[in-house]
Copies of this chain bind each other. A is one copy, B any other.
Amino acid sequence: MSQIRHALSVKRQDDFAKWYQEVIAAADLAEESGVRGCMVIKPWGYGIWERIQRLMDDRIKAAGVQNCYFPLFIPLANFTREAEHVEGFAKEMAVVTHHRLISDGKGGLMPDPAAKLEEPLVVRPTSETIIGDAMARWVQSWRDLPLLTNQWANVVRWEMRTRMFLRTSEFLWQEGHTAHENREQALEETHRALEMYRACAEEDLALPVIAGEKPENERFPGAVETWSIEAMMQDGKALQAGTSHYLGTNFAHAAGIQYQDREGSQQYCHTTSWGVSTRLIGGVIMTHGDDDGLRVPPAIAPQQIIIIPMLREAPEDAELLAYCEELRAMLATQTALGERLRVLLDKIPGKAAAKRWDWVRKGAPVILEVGPRDMAEGKVAMLRRDALWNAENGKPAMQFVTREDFAAQAGALLEEIQRSLFEEARVRRDANITRGVTQWQAVVDHFEKSGKYPGWVEVEWAKPTGAALEAVVEKLKAVKLTIRNVPREGEPATGTCIFTGEPAAERILIARAY
């Protein structure tokens, strides 16, 4: 058995950013495409996204939200209708100006000057304005409400500095857009979506998150309230993993989304929007990855159990393959986390030890190796990716179990791994939130002196607005900190504002962030 340890060239604690890039390569998740800011998502990475999509889509449909598809291109004029929205997005959009190419006379191509668009089109950075146009057509009366739509789509935000999965010019996401009769119903939907994200993050991705409201300066452009789920990465930084916005009547006014109410008068709808993206995969990597590569929670693993037969290109291979195939068939009838097990019998030629480490780096939850001796004893050798090493002898913690026992317990094992990954992340997250800090200087000291991974700090503030808030944001920015959110389930404030000394209004989480 190979004793390769530390499959990666760098450890998390030595260079987290480099480690992140290396896990993406080692797990074969994605790569740079050569097109500025755009990545290629490779089969194992896209398989994880397909799993996230499937589980989130089930949750979306269960809430009565219907999937639609809206245009990739948005006319320029749409962006000028909602003042804050254009302010927030106009600086980073891809603009289509021509619809034909011609020869440039030098063997290349150029946009055809004769095919210039009268009105340039923007490649959607988000779809509030174009979906608002549709809502204005679809909503006539209170009977048409609530209108609950969602789309799975690609969006483009021109980014100067990109990082795979976390910030790319093009990314994949879902965006929910809903219209309601009044503020209460729209807020209820905003929170329903937020809680759906929390459930998906925690139950499916095994990412413990804190749901809360963003401060005014972090609101989505044009939103009245923005809520988020925030996850703590292993370097202590925060990752905004999903957002849900209450848009008030701002976009309804801009697009003319009106309805006749029960009394017969015209009213503007209250709208919401909410989204999660391929960024979630970045969160999975930075939460569950270790110094040997990725660890994928079973619920979102494209394959949950890998069976590696130790083939020798000899006649005995056929019998060994049959033994493994029987196991695959036994497992195929089992379920875990409410679904059939996903099992791969890896028959690709190659050394079993090398293949094991490939699957370790990719983070398959359970890896089985089966050699002729195992077969003779009716057993399999099992490796749990979430408990890879034997602490006593420093070797892979291989367990030898009978094939039948393994098959009978496989579903429960995967559920145990799912729980264990969540618990590990939750315990780490909770241990790295510092509470009870009441002086600004203590916050600064905490992030400067508590080592590389200072985690998050919870403080109380007076919830300033306008210029006073700007001053706070600048103060934070000077030491590279941000306000993550006001935890929804946080304790009420009892002391004074850490920034102004006024009576505090609420508790906020302060952190470095992606």
Seen from chain A, the residues whose Cβ lies within 8 Å of a Cβ on chain B are 31, 33-35, 38-43, 46-47, 49-50, 66-77, 79-80, 86, 90-102, 107-111, 120-123, 130, 133-134, 137, 143, 149, 153-154, 156, 158, 170, 172, 349
Q: Is the CB of A33 within 8 A of B97?
A: no
Question: Which B residue sits closest to A39, measured CB to CB?
Answer: B71
A365 to chain B, nearest CB (A): 19
- Chain B residues with CB under 8 A of A102: 90
In the assembled complex, the Cα of A33 lies from the Cα of B40 at a distance in Å of 30
Which of the residues B70, B77, B97, B154 comes within 8 Å of A97, measured between beta carbons? B97
Which of B90, B109, B156 makes the CB contact (< 8 A) with A90? B109
Number of this chain's copies in the complex: 2
**B41 to A69, Cβ gap below 8 A?**
yes
> Within the complex, which residue of B35, B46, B121 is in contact with A130, where a contact is CB–CB below 8 Å?
B35
Q: A80: shortest Cβ distance to chain B, in Å? A: 6
Chain B residue with Cβ nearest A35 = B71
Q: Are B66 and A43 in contact (CB under 8 A)?
A: yes
Of A98, A130, A170, most B-chain CB atoms within 10 Å: A98
Residues in B with CB closer than 8 Å to A153 are: 154
Known A-B contacts A33-B70, A170-B73; the reply to A122 vs B97 at CB < 8 A is no
Contacts of A80 in B (CB 8 A): 107-109
Interface centre among A67, A86, A101 (most CB of B within 10 A): A101
Task: Give 6 pairs: A residue, B residue, CB < 8 Å, sorted on A.
Answer: A40-B69, A41-B68, A41-B69, A43-B67, A72-B156, A80-B108
- Minimal Cβ-Cβ distance residue in B for A89: B101
> Is the pair B79, A67 in contact by a Cβ cutoff of 8 Å?
no
A122 cross-chain contacts in B, Cβ below 8 A: 101
Q: Is the CB of B101 within 8 A of A79?
A: yes
Q: State A508–B46 Cα separation when bound (angstroms).
A: 41
The answer to whether A109 and B71 have CB atoms under 8 Å apart is no
In the bound complex, how far is the Cα of B43 from the Cα of A34, in angstroms?
A: 36
Option from B41, B68, B108, B111 in Cβ contact (under 8 Å) with A95: B111
Tell me the smallest distance from the CB of A39 to a CB of chain B, in Å. 8
Do A97 and B98 touch (CB < 8 A)?
yes
Q: Which residue of the partner chain B has the closest CB to A42?
A: B68
Secondary structure at the A interface, as helix, strand, loop or mixed, is: mixed
**Can you name the residue of chain B whose Cβ is closest to the Cβ of A153?**
B154
* Closest CB in chain B relative to A161 CB, distance in Å: 14
Q: Is the CB of B108 within 8 A of A72?
A: no
Shortest CB distance A113–B (Å): 11
Residue of B with least CB distance to A65: B43
Instruction: State how many angstroms separate the Cβ of A134 from the closest Cβ of chain B.
Output: 5
Known contacts A35-B73, A73-B170; is-contact A93 B101 (Cβ 8 Å): yes
Q: CA–CA, A130 to B50, complex, Å? A: 22
Cβ B90 vs Cβ A95 within 8 A: no
Q: Is the CB of A100 within 8 A of B96?
A: no
User: Smallest CB–CB gap between A434 and chain B, Å?
Assistant: 39
- What is the CA–CA distance of A349 and B109 in the complex, to the nearest angstrom? 58
Residues of B within 8 A of A42 (CB): 68
Contacts of A97 in B (CB 8 A): 95-98, 111
Least CB distance, A432 to chain B, in whole angstroms = 33
Residue of B nearest to A69 (CB): B41
The residue of chain B having its C-beta at the shortest distance from the C-beta of A97 within the complex is B97
Q: Which residues of B contact A33 (CB under 8 A)?
A: 70-71, 130, 133-134
Docked-complex contact B96 and A96, CB < 8 angstroms: yes
- Kindly list chain B residues whose C-beta atoms are within 8 Å of the C-beta of A134: 31, 33, 40
A94 B96 Cβ-Cβ under 8 A? yes
Could you say which residues of chain B place their CB within 8 Å of the CB of A130?
33, 35
Given A34-B133, A35-B121, A43-B68, answer yes or no on A90-B100 (Cβ-Cβ < 8 Å): yes
- Chain B CB count within 10 A is highest, among A40, A77, A90, A93, for A40
Pair B86/A93 contact, Cβ less than 8 Å:
no
Q: A354 to chain B: closest CB distance in Å?
A: 13
